[in-house]
Structure 1
Amino acid sequence: MSRQTINKTALVLFTVIALLAVGAAAGLWWERNHVPADEKVMPATAAKDGRSVLYWYDPMVPTQKFDKPGKSPFMDMQLVPKYADEGGDASTVKIDPGVAQNLGVRLATVTRAPLDLNVVATGIVNFNERDIAIVQARTGGFVERVARLAPNDVVGSGAFIAELLVPEWAALQQEYLALKAVGDAPLEDAARERMLLGGMPESLIRAVVQTGKVRNRISITAPRAGVIQTLDVRPGMTLMAGQTLARVNGISTVWLDVSVPEAQAGAVLIGQSAEAKFAAFPGKPVQGRVTALLPTLNDAARALRVRVELPNKDGRLRPGLTAQVSLKGAVGESALLVPTEAVIRTGRRALVIVAEAEGRYRPVEVVLGPESGTDTVIVSGLGEGQKIVASGQFLIDSEASLQGIISSTSESAEAMPAPVALHEADAVIKELSGTSVTLAHGPFKTLSMPGMTMAFPLANPQLAKGLKVGDRVRVGVRQTDDGLVVERIERAGGGQ
């Protein structure tokens, strides 16, 4: 091979090697610098329009913030920038004012005002159990005649019930008349006393004295107006002394058995005025008053049983009628109030949508107190003067849920729910065991629960360590599906 041929071959090989080197370098550069369009983060976009980025976040975990762009550690997606000119943070949702108007969003203000302790509940009319008369035979005899009556008939005072024949009375009356004819005053007085002891009513004795005739039949009458509940007398019966003939329940007043929700039980007091409205008598409310707070709750409805006494002069209020009852309470201490319709109850917690500037809305978890008229008391979570959504909040809450936004009071990297606040009261230990404690406690104000004596299960048996019967304690309880559970108990003055 000639020298010229060798040189040409070397030149070709060098050229090929050079081209391969350039290609490899170009490929390496392309691999290092080319990113597919669906994975590229372009921070330069922020620089072009002059917008400043506060941080980056994953829309599915909006509370976790990052200081640079990249792929989310939670989801297979790129982090989203949060710009400074957007205001708020990842826990807010922005809605155009025009869209908000179309949604029917209506705002209200968190106010502080005295509590309206009026309670509205339902009640059922019952007999006044204190207005009962028992009709009995004061002496033995035979029933000769009975009025045409039956149980549940309404009778007036003095109405005829039955006529009795009392043979023993004839002898006593004849003895009296004989002594009266003799004119022996002491013996006459003694005979009159024997007639009275024989069971004769004073009216019958006066009739014998005035007429001088024997009267051995007596009419039994109703001692008061009312409803005959029982009637146990028939013609031809032989009665023993003291045997009951009838039971008459007066209806001049009636009792209204009112079921007050457990959460409002603390607002009801004996002596409160009450107004009852009956569907049977529209526009004619009846005024009454609370006469008793019954010691046991209605187990099915978990409601306090309240007795209201109502006048019933015309007798139109009959047992079994239902009424809507308004119990007039005194004005209580001031508290934060929001419209009840503004509260979103999810079952585990309660939310309120707070309206912020520039059409932004934030779901906030709140602790609720009792209802006061059309408002609900806010124990914690909001401040006076804040604007909240009173209408259309469910649509905003749905939008916040779609964006992965959680309430501001439960923000955390793991979005764990906020702990439930304990309800506290002062108490005295009445009984103590390893798993439960019986307390004579004062009112749980945050539950609107009045003071009473009842047993509570202990969340932890160690809570009873060092305590004994008779100790004055401060107790904290938690509401569960099975009732109240003691979570904290401390001896008065400090020390568990």
Structure 2
Amino acid sequence: MKFSVILCMGALLLPHAAFSATEGGTVLLTEQGVNNLGIEIVTVEEAEFQDTAFALGRIETIPGRTGAVSSRISGKLVELRVSPGDSVTADQIVAEVESRQAGDPPPVIPLRAPLKGLVMHSDARLGDPVEPDKALLEITDLSEVHAVARVPEYQAGMLKPGSKARIQVAALGEKEFEGELIRFGTSADPESGTIDAYFLLPNPDGVLRPGMRAEFSIVKSMREGVLSVPKESLQGNPANRHVYVKHPKIPNAFDRVSVQTGETSANRVEIVDGLYPGDEVVTRGSYSLGFAGQGGGVSLKEAMDAAHGHEHNEDGSEMTPEQAAAKKAAKSGEAGHEHGSAAPAWREKFFMATTALLFVLLVLSSVSKRKGTPELT
């Protein structure tokens, strides 16, 4: 029982623990820690926000923009100037055919490209017989292409011709293209529940080729003056979202701030509550901050002391004049006690020794009296 009481009193006398980064919601790092985590920050501001729908699809050629190279006479292919993958201009000579008509030498007829574009296919070899009904080359104009998105039927009703889409092609890395919706397919796919949406896509460099896989971020609606953050800034589960905001005063410190989210676009999330324009939010390294600061480190008080050059309370707040005076007095009292405790130490020892000696003499005196007292009859 006595031992339990002593433990309880000891717990009450222990000083409060230093500020914990995980409990207090602020992560304190060194400059090296910030560099190691690769922390990157963006400033929150109100801007245009696009409500988008994601879809997968492909690149296709535009019907009517493909031409064939063929001969009007029978003969033999004697020259082939292009190969699949070559770009040609309209009316460019691409092959020559030797006629079967008599002559010395036999007459040779040039074959010209019917349009500007890319040689997509060739069935011709030097020396092959040539007939008017056989196409030798296929050329396609790829200055514009169709990007065809497989859009869920329930979302197709929200889209109208003229809707925009940001399109990325896996084969071309992070490069982004912008297309405009021109029409939908003639029928939906009953198995997948999707319908093809055709977007017209400029392709001046010719880098987009038929069959390439594409990812679509289709704009369903657009609003102005919306506060949003990059998706990578957002942490937590759907019921408890939070971001890390750079502390306005403490270097290398980041506050954990709970937020309420709204709509989601391709790469941003609307923030309904919790942030203000001008807040500096962590993007890259945000996930790692949830694990930083654990296992000790500087306290919030120490960080504030170092940043401002004077002492603060344990919670990082500024000391009032009364608190500062009380702390100074407490330190003076502790110092006086330490200096004065050595002087009377010998007096305490002398007093303890004298008390022990008197106690022994008293015991001996009592024993002597008992031995010398006569027995009563």
TM range, smaller chain: 0.3 to 0.5
TM-score, with structure 1 as normaliser? 0.34
Ranked by relative contact order (alpha carbons within 8 Å, sequence separation 6 or more), the top structure is 2
TM-score, with structure 2 as normaliser? 0.42
